[in-house]
Amino acid sequence: MVTGMVLPDLNLPNKHFVPEQFRADFPALHSESVYLDSAATALKPQVMIDATFAYYAQNTATAKRSLYQDALQVTTTIDKARQNVADLIHANSSTEIIWTRGATESINLIAQSYARPLLQPDDEIIVSELEHHSNLLPWLIVAKQTGAKVIKWSSDIDELSSLLSAKTKIVAITQMSNVTGFCPDLATISHIVHQHNAVLVVDGAQGIVHHALDVQQLNIDFYAFSAHKLYGPTGLGVLYGKPVLLKQMSVWHGGGKMLKSASFDDFIQEDIPYKFEAGTPNIAGILGFNATLQWLKSWDNKQAENYTKQLADYAKSQLNQLTDIQFYSVDSSPIITFNINNIHHNDIAILLSEQNIAIRTGELCAQPLMNKLGCHGAIRLSLMPYNNQQDVDKFILELQSAIEILV
C-alpha cells in the first residue's frame, strides 16, 4: 500500500458538456474578473491544482531513481501521463512521447538534435509565414549553424508544391495560428511534403486545445505542444516524434538518467524517450498534467468546442457593430484579433485592465505575420469553453467605453 501520497480521485464518468459545470471546475473564475487571454495560457481546473498540491504537500519523492513506495508511485504516474499523452494524439507508443519544458524547447530539440547533424550548406527549411517565433527562430538558428536556408512560405498549398525541391529537408507549419486562428490543411500538406521526402514539423501549441489530432493518420513526423495551453501547468511540454527519427537523433542535454553507463572516456545513452530527458523531470507538472488529461476525458470535447465557436461567433457579431474596426482573424475561430482605427491597441488593453478584463495586445510573438498583415500589433481575445456570454457582454461594454474615452 502506498503511504504518504494522496492524489485526487480522477475516475470521473463520461458526460456531456454543460457550460456551467465546466466553468465551475476553474477556481480562478470565481471572481469579478473576465479572462479572455487563453491563447497565451489557459486557466487551470481544480483537479490539476489538487494533484500538484498533493505532490508538494504530501510527497517530494523523485522519479525513476529510488525504490521506496512514494517514489515508485510517482514513477508509475509519470508513465501513465506519458501514455495519456500518446492516447490524446493517437501515437503508436508512449515511447514516442518526450517531456520537455514547453513547445519552444520541443522545437529547439528537433532543430538541434535532428536538423543540425543532417543539414548541409544550401539545404532548405520551409517555414510558413503564420508561425509563432517559437517555430521560426529555432530554424533561423540552425540555418546559421549549418549554412542551410530558411524559405518563407505563405501557407498556400499550391505555393508549397512550387517551393519543395530536392534541397528541402524540413517543412515547419502551425496547426493553428495564434494570430488569425487559421488552421492549415495538415492532411494535404503532409501528403505533399512526404512526396518530396521531407520531414514535417507541426507546432500544435494552439491547435491541440481546440482540435483533436491523429499523428499517425496525418503522417506527422514531429509534433510539439505545451501543457499550459491545454489547462495544464507551465514549464512542461511534449515532443512527439516517429521512432525511426528519434532513434537516429543525437542527445542534446547530458545528465542524470539519460544514460545506461558512463566513464571518463564515453557514455552509452538510454533508449528513447529517456535519452532526451536529462535530469530530474518536472514531476509536479507531469502529475498535474496527468490529472488534467484524465479530467478532460470526462467531457465531450466536441460539444465544448462547438460551444466555444458559438460564443466566438456571438462575440464577433457584437464587434461588427463597432465602427472603424479591422479584423485579422478568420471566422468561427476562438481567437479574434482586431484593431480599432486610430486607437493604439495597448491603450485599449490598459483601460480594459482597469475593469478587470484580461486580453492580449501587441505583436503576439509573430512579427513577420504582423508585418504581412500591415500592422505593428493588435487586440486579441481568445475564448475557451469556460467563458460565457456574460464575459463577452462585459468585454463589449467596456471596449465601447474605452473607445469613447480614446477617440
Active site residues: 365
Q: Would you give the distance in Å from CA 15 to the centre of its chain?
A: 25
CB 280 within 8 A of CB 134: no
R_g of the chain computed on alpha carbons = 22
Three-state SS at 183: coil
The count of other CB atoms within 10 Å of the CB of residue 407 is: 11
CB 136 within 8 A of CB 364: no
**What are the angstrom distances between the C-alpha of 171 and each of 109, 138, 187?**
15, 13, 14
HSE (side-chain half, CA atoms, 13 Å) at 327: 20
| Burial classification of residue 117, based on how many CB atoms lie within 10 Å of its CB (0-12 exposed, 13-18 middle, 19 or more buried) | exposed
CA angle 81, 86, 87 (to 5 degrees): 95
Phi, psi for 241 (deg, rounded to 5): -145, 150
Bridge partner residues of 149 (DSSP): 124
DSSP single-letter state for residue 125: E
Give the residue carrying C-alpha cell 465544448: 304
Enumerate the H helices of 61-210 as residue ranges: 69-89, 103-109, 116-118, 137-146, 157-163, 186-195, 207-210
CB-based burial, 364-377: b 16+ in 10 Å, e otherwise: bbbebbbeebebeb
Give the residue carrying C-alpha cell 468546442: 305
Give residues with Cβ within 8 angstroms of 37, minimum separation 6. 358, 359, 360, 380, 381, 382
